[in-house]
């Protein structure tokens, strides 16, 4: 286990863990914010080297076509968010919303969250993956409640209870998967290693796998935020610090969905098992349509984009539920594009809420006049997220819709309606937010624009050109997904 690949894998886990400990004990604010950026940057560099060296899969950790892109995405968004977080937190300290002690706690938790999410993505052992998702849930709960206002505590509590029940159900599903595999593979670690499970899944008892998948879908589905299991999501997004909303939407939902995908591959490798497609299609469609209508009734800007995340998670589940090489490919692409775009939107929303001093959309008007860069950043972000061409989101949604039209036109009509309704809601709101006469504070913003526009540029570039290596990985994963 001393080949360069496995060293890199260990570094991806050890750097955030060490940074978390350091940040918990270092007193000075300026250094801690920089150290936070440095920690995530080093992790990102290590993650990128995974494109070049790939370690042999072990019983606990694995790097394969399925997770390599997500690890890089995770560390990349972790890095850009830490840059954004630096300027966001400076403002929070000035206004006194956060004290120095809480700031130390915040940074330590940020790195712990990065560690947990990287571990969940790297884990080959399904039990280890569960522990990592649980750790990620705990750290985000603590960060959602960090402002200690009534609303923040309530949001954290709600997230805590629903999230805990979700992961409890997921654990039961994991135990059932172990039971199904241990009668074939024998007792021990092999029976929990995902790479072994996928190879031998055809011999597993299908009935046991079916039941296990129902529990896993409900459990991890709660963490993904699929309707009707989404109740925690808008509150957690609205009440926590905005960098956490960006990481929640951009990364944690993806991680939970990724865990679900690992199990879906096991299901599709077993010919006797129930097709997980219809379940995921139903949950996905319900989420899309429900969230699309809910978008009209929001008056808090962060809650609105939280509902938009529910909608997109619905689209992605729908795509994986439909299955087939094209829809799966589009689903994977959409996961990446949504993650980049939504975190970019939260970057701009975070600064907007800070300069305006409010999250109420009625009190925010004319952003392109008062804060041109932030305003146009938001406009670009929203135009991208609703799926207008030529961005990456347009491409993935177009692929999902066209491949569905070919196989199940009725479902495609419902999905298309949901997308249009959401588009209407977001553009209608955007019009009020970005244009017209400026209302509220005109104070200049010391925002960091680099993360925001980098994300948007990547999404735009992906709409025009996808690297062939990425395409070939995704095609392979799409095959495995069945």
Partner 1 sequence: MDSFALDVAHLFAGSLVLVSFMLLYQDRMFSLLNIFALHAFVVSVSVAWQAHIQNAPHLYITAAIALVVKAIVIPIVLHRIIVRLGIHRNIENVVGIGQTMLGGIGLVALSIMVMLPITTAEGTLVREDLAFALSVILLGLLMMVSRRNAVGQVIGFMSIENGLILAATGAKGMPLVVEISVAFSILIALIVIGIFLFRIRERFDSVDLHALDRFRGERP
* Closest CB 164 distance from partner 1, rounded Å: 6
* Closest to 246 in 3D by CA, of 88, 43, 42: 88
| Pick 176 or 458: Cβ nearer partner 1 | 176
186: left (phi over 0), alpha (psi -120 to 50) or beta: left
* Residue 360 β-bridge partners: 300
Q: How far apart are CA 365 and CA 57, in angstroms?
A: 53
* Closest to 398 in 3D by CA, of 321, 329, 474, 324: 329
* Closest CB 101 distance from partner 1, rounded Å: 14
Distances (CA, A) of 482 to 122, 265, 476: 22, 7, 10
| Pick 46 or 273: Cβ nearer partner 1 | 273
Q: How far apart are the first and last CA of the chain?
A: 32
| Pick 182 or 475: Cβ nearer partner 1 | 182
Q: How far apart are CA 417 and CA 401, in angstroms?
A: 11
Q: How far apart are CA 244 and CA 112, in angstroms?
A: 13
Length of the chain: 482
* Closest CB 173 distance from partner 1, rounded Å: 11
| Pick 92 or 235: Cβ nearer partner 1 | 235
* Closest to 345 in 3D by CA, of 308, 371, 395: 308
**Cis peptide, bond prior to residue 390, ω within 30 of zero:** yes
| Pick 362 or 437: Cβ nearer partner 1 | 362
Enumerate binding residues for partner 1 (CB under 8 A): 125, 127-128, 130-131, 134-135, 138, 141-142, 145, 148, 150-151, 153-154, 156-158, 160-162, 164-165, 168-169, 171-172, 175-176, 178-179, 182-183, 187-189, 191-192, 205, 207-208, 210-211, 231, 235, 297-300, 303
* Closest CB 95 distance from partner 1, rounded Å: 22
* Closest CB 237 distance from partner 1, rounded Å: 13
**CB–CB of 284/413 below 8 Å?**
no
Cα 20 → chain centroid: 21
- Residue recorded with tokens 């290590």: 46
* Closest CB 187 distance from partner 1, rounded Å: 3
Around Cβ 466, how many Cβ atoms within 10 Å? Answer: 14
Structure tokens at 304: 């609105």
* Closest CB 191 distance from partner 1, rounded Å: 8
| Pick 63 or 180: Cβ nearer partner 1 | 180
| Pick 209 or 333: Cβ nearer partner 1 | 209
| Pick 188 or 357: Cβ nearer partner 1 | 188
| Pick 141 or 261: Cβ nearer partner 1 | 141
* Closest CB 273 distance from partner 1, rounded Å: 12
**CB–CB of 239/227 below 8 Å?**
no
* Closest CB 207 distance from partner 1, rounded Å: 4
Around Cβ 134, how many Cβ atoms within 10 Å? Answer: 20
């Amino acid at each position: 286990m001393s080949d360069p690949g496995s060293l890199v894998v260990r570094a991806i886990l050890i750097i955030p863990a060490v940074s978390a400990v350091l940040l918990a004990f270092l007193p000075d604010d300026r250094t801690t914010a920089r150290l936070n950026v440095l920690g995530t940057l080093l992790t990102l560099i290590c993650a990128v080297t995974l494109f070049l060296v790939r370690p042999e899969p072990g019983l606990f950790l694995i790097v394969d076509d399925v997770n390599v892109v997500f690890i890089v995405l995770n560390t990349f968004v972790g890095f850009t968010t830490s840059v954004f977080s630096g300027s966001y937190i400076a403002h929070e300290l000035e206004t006194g919303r956060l004290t120095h002690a809480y700031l130390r706690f915040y940074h330590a938790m940020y790195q712990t969250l990065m560690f947990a999410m990287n571990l969940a993505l790297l884990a080959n052992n399904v039990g280890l993956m569960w522990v990592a998702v649980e750790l990620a849930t705990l750290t985000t709960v603590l960060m959602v409640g960090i402002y200690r206002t009534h609303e923040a505590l309530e949001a954290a509590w709600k997230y805590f209870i629903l999230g805990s029940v979700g992961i409890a159900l997921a654990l039961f599903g994991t135990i059932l998967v172990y039971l199904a595999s241990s009668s074939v593979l024998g007792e021990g670690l092999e029976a929990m290693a995902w790479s072994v499970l996928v190879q031998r899944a055809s011999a597993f008892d299908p009935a046991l796998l079916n039941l296990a998948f129902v529990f896993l879908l409900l459990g991890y589905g709660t963490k993904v935020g699929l309707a009707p299991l989404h109740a925690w999501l808008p509150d957690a997004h609205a009440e926590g610090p905005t960098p956490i909303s960006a990481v929640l939407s951009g990364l944690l939902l993806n991680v939970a969905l990724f865990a679900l995908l690992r199990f879906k591959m096991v299901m599709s490798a077993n010919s006797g098992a129930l097709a997980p497609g219809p379940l995921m299609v139903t949950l996905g469609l319900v989420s899309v349509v429900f969230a699309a209508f809910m978008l009209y009734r929001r008056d808090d800007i962060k809650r609105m984009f939280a509902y938009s995340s529910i909608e997109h998670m619905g689209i992605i589940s729908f795509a994986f539920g439909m299955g087939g090489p094209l829809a799966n490919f589009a689903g994977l692409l959409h996961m990446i594009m949504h993650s980049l775009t939504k975190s970019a939107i939260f970057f701009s929303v975070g600064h907007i809420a800070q300069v305006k001093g409010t999250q109420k959309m009625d009190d925010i008007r004319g952003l392109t006049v008062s804060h041109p860069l932030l305003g146009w950043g938001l406009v670009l972000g929203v135009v991208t997220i609703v799926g207008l061409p030529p961005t990456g989101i347009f491409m993935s949604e177009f692929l999902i819709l066209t491949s569905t039209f070919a196989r199940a036109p009725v479902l495609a009509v419902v999905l298309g309606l949901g997308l249009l309704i959401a588009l209407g809601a977001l553009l209608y709101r955007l019009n009020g937010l970005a244009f017209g006469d400026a209302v509220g504070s005109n104070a200049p913003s010391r925002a960091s624009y680099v993360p925001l526009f980098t994300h948007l540029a990547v999404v735009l570039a992906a709409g025009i050109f996808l690297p062939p290596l990425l395409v070939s990985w995704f095609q392979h994963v799409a095959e495995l997904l069945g």
